[in-house]
Amino acid sequence: MTKKIFSILLLAVVCFCALFSCRKTTVSTADATLNYFPLQLGKYITYNVDSIYYYSANCTQYEAKSQMKYAIDDTFTDQYKRLSYVMDVFTRPFDNNSGVWVHNSVILITPTITPPLTLSDPTTISLLYSQDQAQYVKLIFPISNGYSWYGNQYINTQNPLFTYLSNWNYYYKNFQLSYNTGYINFANTVTVLEDSEAVNYPAIDSNISSYLTYAEEVYADNVGMVHKQWTHWTYKPSPVICRDGYQVVMDAIDHN
């Protein structure tokens, strides 16, 4: 009986020591750069939005100011059993923060693990971002300057609406630098340059076809997207000398 009790006690001591040893030597592998897009229920960011729309049909230009709020309000499991997040988009007129928010649309966000292609490649996490019938790979984690990827690879660019999104090569720059939206200064950010293309310019020579596409987004640590500029317009000298396209600039003015 004494030997049996001693054996049990010895086994307990060995297990305790092993457990303590494992806890002591465990190193966290959590990626801190995931905080550049914190996926938390209740998280929101409010933006001032300046928009310009060019209409070649009647050669007009329409400018608008508004406010938008992105808020993560729910989660669900997608068809591949991945945890996904629902980000509701609200809009209101630009009227000194006193208007009523109106629900405008929904963005679906799904983090997905990308296995390494070779033993030397790291395991990465892609942030899938579904908006307006298109799915973007907005961010790749871990974040590092110069890292690039095809962010529009899942978009059907054969659709005329999305043709201009073809072959965008996203890349990171200005990692861990500050960025000021004009309303708030963020000490730790990263810029994603998504596309920058320009051919000719009508103000210089109005007799030559031209186009401009420029897209960038800035993300702040523990906040999310704090700045966005998407510009795309085309220009043909005939039958009318006008641009066709848009420019949208969003800057964060508030967040939790």
Q: Is the dihedral of CA 233, 184, 86, 166 positive or negative?
A: positive
Q: How far is CA 212 from CA 83, 117, 121, 202, in A?
A: 37, 35, 35, 11
pLDDT at 219: 98
pLDDT at 10 over 60: no
Specify the pairing of strand 210-220 against strand 185-199. Answer: antiparallel
Q: Give the angle 183-230-56 at the CA atoms, nearest 5°.
A: 125
Q: Give the angle 144-148-149 at the CA atoms, nearest 5°.
A: 130
Q: pTM (2 decimals)?
A: 0.84
Number of domains in the chain: 1
What would the pLDDT profile of 26-81 be if each residue is shown by its tens digit? 334 479 999 999 999 999 999 999 999 998 777 788 999 999 999 999 999 999 99
- DSSP assignment of 186-198, as one string? EEEEEEEEEEEEE
Q: Are 169 and 150 in contact (CB under 8 A)?
A: yes
What would the pLDDT profile of 151-164 be if each residue is shown by its tens digit? 999 999 999 999 99
In a domain, 113, yes or no: yes
In a domain, 247, yes or no: yes
In a domain, 105, yes or no: yes
In a domain, 198, yes or no: yes
pLDDT at 20: 37
In a domain, 197, yes or no: yes
In a domain, 168, yes or no: yes
What is the residue range of 237's domain? Answer: 40-255
Contacts of 210 (CB under 8 A, 6+ apart): 198, 199, 200, 201, 202, 234, 235
pLDDT at 223 over 80: yes
pLDDT at 205: 57
pLDDT at 206: 63
In a domain, 13, yes or no: no
In a domain, 95, yes or no: yes
